[in-house]
Structure 1
Amino acid sequence: MVSNLKLSTTDYFLTDKNAITVADRHPQPIFPTHFHDFDELVIVWRGNGLHILNDVPYAITCGDLFYVNARDRHSYESVNELELDNILYSRRRLTLSADWNALLPGEEVVQEKRYWRLSTPGMSALRHVVDALARECMKTDPLSIQLSETLFLQVALLLMRFRHAPDSPLLSDAEQLDLLLMALRVSIDQPFRLDDFCRRHQLNARSLKTLFKQQTGIGVNQYLRQLRLCKAMDLLRHGQQTIGEVASRCGFDDSNYFSVVFNQSFGVSPREYRQRFQKNQERKKPATAENALVLPGR
């Protein structure tokens, strides 16, 4: 889809010398498809929702990290107590000597390599630095501008230290929430049983369910269903599989049940959704907040 909603540097940065600003979204509302002339880091602190980046849907929750480049198109839909920070930055304004291209993946890096997960210790370490950056970037004197860049460099380095691929198996057993989220992401097309998972990792199922609900705002099964429906949306938008094949690849044994769940969640059948999206592509209609779909549990 194509959007004409452009966010400009002049609307967000205090002066033409400021290279960084922090836009806290506590909470993040539904926001239509847009692009901008600056880059940004998106760090999700809590809650859940749907982030569509360049027409690829992501079910997001605490610990998700995105590197969004200028001219990328993205939107937020189906938000539920979603809290995140957008760290906006202008590459051409950065003056601190650092390997920014390595720290901040640019347009030459494929989208799959610009989506990461952050560990729980990483989230804790980042919180204080991001808060300090948010305060400092609201000043315009030369010393504060330099300090903002220094804090931003610290954020970029911490992200490199604590980030991991969404499906990475190289996680400590102590990172219960990260282990569970990773397991759910690789269970889209297969059954998942929390009790079996907890026995395998010697975790307490009741405590883990409570922790998951506190951090994401929804239950484990609800989140897994969101992941499966996001995958279904992607396949219906871009693939040529039959409805039965889509259902199977998204963890639904019965295509009729899949259609019922999809219809209950989005108000249209999978077939109607595919047809509507393809028509929207052909007509190239701008995306609006009114087109946002609602995920289950809202």
Structure 2
Amino acid sequence: MTLRLPKADYIPSDLMPVAVADRAPQPSFPAHTHEFCEIVIVWRGNGLHVLNDRPWLVTCGDIFYIRDTDCHSYDAVNCLVLDNIIYCPERFKLGLDWSEMLPRDEEDSPTHWRLTTRGMALARGVILQLVQESRKTDVLSLQLTEALFLQLALVLRRHRYAADRAYALPEGEQLDLLMSAIQVDVGTPFCLTTFCHQHQLAERGLKQLFRQQTGMSIGHYLRQLQLCQAKHLLRSSDRLIGEVAARCGFDDSNYFSVVFTRETGMTPSAWRQQFRTPFQDRQYSLPSR
């Protein structure tokens, strides 16, 4: 049975609309839902975040907007540090249209967002104020907490970008440029040397910065992104194993199977099979007409 986390365990006051849960570090945590919504902002480290059965490799700058109906978990965490900005929309008093600032999981809307380096710096300052005000119970603190949450939502809206879509980032933020280039299409070969030459960046320094912020090498990060995409495609589509491998950047399906098995302990076929229902098995076994 999936855990459901109650409001009272995370928001002490029945009137307070927002609270901050500091996870430094975030441990592995089983699948769960909440009686509240939350914004997850990752500061450093890395781990596997599974949201509504889809795995996401997360590291510094990643953002997720979690609804009270969403189910998520954390696994394979490595010094993962994040903040959960917990909020209860029904307690807001400002009368704003929050849907403009808090994206919902719609067909044409991305689920996974990233925050620029500048945005992370601005968000930190607002969150520190939120931590202080959300612990109080007077009327002024309730109002200020909601106002600070609005400020945070606006900062995130201005400085976020969809992780898997092409986005024009300003020059100067090395990590932002690199993350955007890697994530826009994990199935396309990525050459760090070419990237650094195009943006006039020092390759060695960029490698060091990336490891410092994420806890992993660029190559390992890219490989884990490819495997996350492969897991998603194997579970959510009927594509052949070779086609999944190609879409995730593997030219050789045999090599893909070796890497996938080494990382997950299961072959791609076995991974897919564990999510099949008996009805699906019968459906796929029927001869085509």
CA distance in 1, matches of 2:16, 2:68: 17
Residue 129 (structure 1) aligns with: 126
**Contact 2:189-2:249 within 8 A present in 1 as well:** yes
- CA RMSD of superposed structures (Å): 1.8
**Residue-by-residue CA offset, 1:237-266 (whole Å, 9 max, x unaligned):** 111111111111111111111111111111
CA distance in 1, matches of 2:250, 2:98: 43
Residue 138 (structure 1) aligns with: 135
Residue number among 140, 148, 151 corresponding to 1:154 in the alignment: 151
Describe the SS at the equivalent of 2:45.
strand
CA distance in 2, matches of 1:212, 1:99: 37
Displacement after TM superposition at 1:106 (Å):
4.1
Structure with the bigger RCO (C-alpha within 8 Å, sep 6+) is 1
Matches within 5 A, 1:192-271: 192-271=190-269
Residue number among 106, 112, 116 corresponding to 1:115 in the alignment: 112
**Contact 2:115-2:156 within 8 A present in 1 as well:** yes
Residue 161 (structure 2) aligns with: 164
Displacement after TM superposition at 1:279 (Å):
5.2
Residue 287 (structure 2) aligns with: none
Residue 100 (structure 2) aligns with: 102
Identify if the C-alpha distance between structure 1 residues 175 and 7 changes in structure 2 by more than 3 Å, giving closer, same or farther. same
Identify if the C-alpha distance between structure 1 residues 248 and 114 changes in structure 2 by more than 3 Å, giving closer, same or farther. closer
Give yes or no for the alignment of 1:180 onto 2:178: yes
CA distance in 1, matches of 2:24, 2:279: 32
**Contact 1:51-1:59 within 8 A present in 2 as well:** yes
Percent identity over the alignment is 52
Q: TM-score, normalised by structure 2?
A: 0.91
Residue 41 (structure 1) aligns with: 39
CA distance in 1, matches of 2:177, 2:218: 13
Q: Which runs of 5+ in 2 are unaligned?
A: 281-289
Higher mean C-alpha displacement, 226-235 vs 247-256:
247-256
> How many aligned residue pairs are there?
279
Q: Could you tell me which amino acid in structure 1 is paired with residue 136 of structure 2?
A: K
Residue number among 75, 79, 82 corresponding to 2:80 in the alignment: 82
**Contact 1:14-1:140 within 8 A present in 2 as well:** no
Displacement after TM superposition at 1:27 (Å):
0.7
